[in-house]
Structure 1
């Protein structure tokens, strides 16, 4: 070990920095504030340990170049067992890590590099406990994102970041185009609001469990139509299904005035997103898209099709309703008018992640939705739907695209299947 006498390590916290010998300027910029703070307060020491299999002259010369960034440098750390230990016990995989040792040589963090990258000197004393404390702050979201170096810079600059993903390429193109247009809008630019976007590739949604739970709880994570998360710097602002968020952006004209009048962008965005989900006449369609990972169902809604959603415990009635609905779809008048009718049965049987059946999931999400304080008209429609839950017979809902058209129990909903009655909803 060189660069400084090793006596300086005794009775101090030590940060072991493992990397290959070629350290990027980006990594240096992350560690530099920590190095500078250490020189001022003398509370800990930093040791750089390059992981290199074969030490040659050029490698040692590079060490001389990098010595200026670290107080200590361990040369010729090439022991097979040592490298194996660092890789197996501390998870070194060619990317930089910082292992934190207490003054008693106890491991206080197996890799504090990411928390240093996110919080800088605020990460001191670089322990697991300190990281947990930082992650529980309102800016926890920033600590979950390490899939794009640009995002970390944007976080530090406090920009609004739209992070999005999904398998629908067409939706991704539409969304990116809409965000870019929003960023160039004169109201946004006049207000000096900086908006950027980052697409997350498949299989890379961030490391933090809370981000995974956030996406999963809102059923965006695996949706065909895409998902979106908006943050301001490291603070999570909002998130949602790609379809609903896209609508919020498409209708910017309806909430532009609030931004122009000085209301913070994140408040305007969240309020209008809530308006779309809870108070508009299309609430039911967005509710179904938001809470059900059913690609074909989302497509039917977007295409404006007539959809009968039905369920219940009376199997005989279910079969009867299905047959009558299918007969309606084949009626010559319906076919001549090229009206598309789809059926969607919400079963009570356990299916996949739905322990209480898809119907049980429907009622559960609907009851949660009612707690979000929708407007009076929507609340009345929700209460009417929930009233069918405890009936031991059948129930059905008819929607046309996003709009809820009719609903009823097994007795009165059958009338809607009569041609003359159904014409009212065309």
Structure 2
């Protein structure tokens, strides 16, 4: 038999072909087409487990044939062999074998005659009308896998297997090995279309398997998808018809060369169409999963609320719901041993949950570290602490990971090994119920998991481990024991100042960052002490929220030696943080400045810090105190001759107070700056100097030092 080239229809130009395809696709996508496809659908309610069938189809079309065409060596690993053996036991194939064979016959018959693809597709849809949409596409794909698989087996084995060679001769199939380069564009286009059809099929099956308890057919993301699934199924089956036509076209071409790529181009165009359908369905599937996740998170959130309303024998249910509910990993890192541990280490213990973002300061960590180690050493205050970082997945990057690991390395207590093990429902609970926004909070839980305090951070900054077990009742009892004193101001910060107090020395605690005022004030104070022949000790307390500037001030104090000062910014930070905590603690207990002396004095000192100049507090013993803003304090010392006569009778502090009361400035402008992220901002604040209600303004602050 002589070789000759089969006459193919003239190839259309790309523009003509694109226009033809666009017309075909646009008419197919209109409402008439959708109605026509829908009219074939008459499901009888039968359920088919399509997953095993899809696995077999994937094994034939993708793992074997596609990889062979793409030039990969196909190896059957142990997992693939085990999967095939398991699928061989799939009982439902017995009942489906007939329908798969029937569809194969329809495909072979309809496609061999070169009939209209749309008509062939509609015939198949009518034939499988009683099946659900996902079953229609899977069964049709399975039927095509049989056709393509048989073709490939015969064509591949014909060179070495007598039976295969005889079948190939009867069908006049081309020798793939000999004609591979000329046939490759056809096979590549065929594989692209098969993979696109498989992708859409997988999507349709996924929609079917979505949990109905979380998403129903009439839920917007699902209802939108449901309107597109019929036409998507149509295009999958139409693609299979096109692929079957391509396989049929190889029959009788044993001695013919394939010179035109028009058919391959048509398959590629169809693959592009089906791929666009897949992208649309995939996006809709993402929306469905988001909807399901939201529903699950809301359900978990309400379960968490109910858990906290229920009495438990220990704290494990609460901790598992908040941190990690599964047993597949060890969720905590022991900061001391630097090893992974389970939640069991927290069972029936008081637990402090340190909740923050990644902007947790080293000062906070250092103070907490001292308190945590002190509790361990004393042994009478048994609590554990766990860091739960709240992070945003959208902004998480390598730098965030490094920052998380660095902060974790500073902690002696427990922390979660990965911030993303915290479920969104737990994050929602932390933010909405415990009011976490940005500033770190310490949530206290008792050994049964009951809430002792939604934020014990204020009482811990004020009293440290004395606040254990961190309940509101304990906080109230501690306040009853306190009076406004120097000891309350500097407790836990600097023992030197407290030693001065017990020795009965006159102490001046002052702050601000105006170097000119500091120089004048300290020099004048020393002169007054010499002139009055009394012993004066001075301590510089700095300014709040000015870490970098305070480091520079510490260097200045080291060289110029104005007075005694706290040699690290942590002490300065802690001094001002404790004052803010005192104010918020009082607010939480419903106190007002008019009826609570400590609250009034704390707000006065905080308003001093808000001024541009300095401030000073003069103390002797535990309770003798006089305070003033920088200019008033300096003027008082400069007018020493006017009040020194009262020292012998009243004492230095009372004499200073008497002068300040009689010489109040006619005009003043006081500012009280409170961090808005802490919560509990007072609705009414009165001026420390005149008692009038202060006006409230909003200030947005960004200090890059």
Greater percentage in helix = 2
| Rg larger in structure | 2
Compare relative contact order (CA 8 Å, sep 6+) and give the higher one, 1 or 2: 1
State the TM-score, normalized to the length of structure 1: 0.47
TM score, norm. by length of structure 2: 0.31
Looking at secondary structure, tell me which structure has more strand per residue: 1
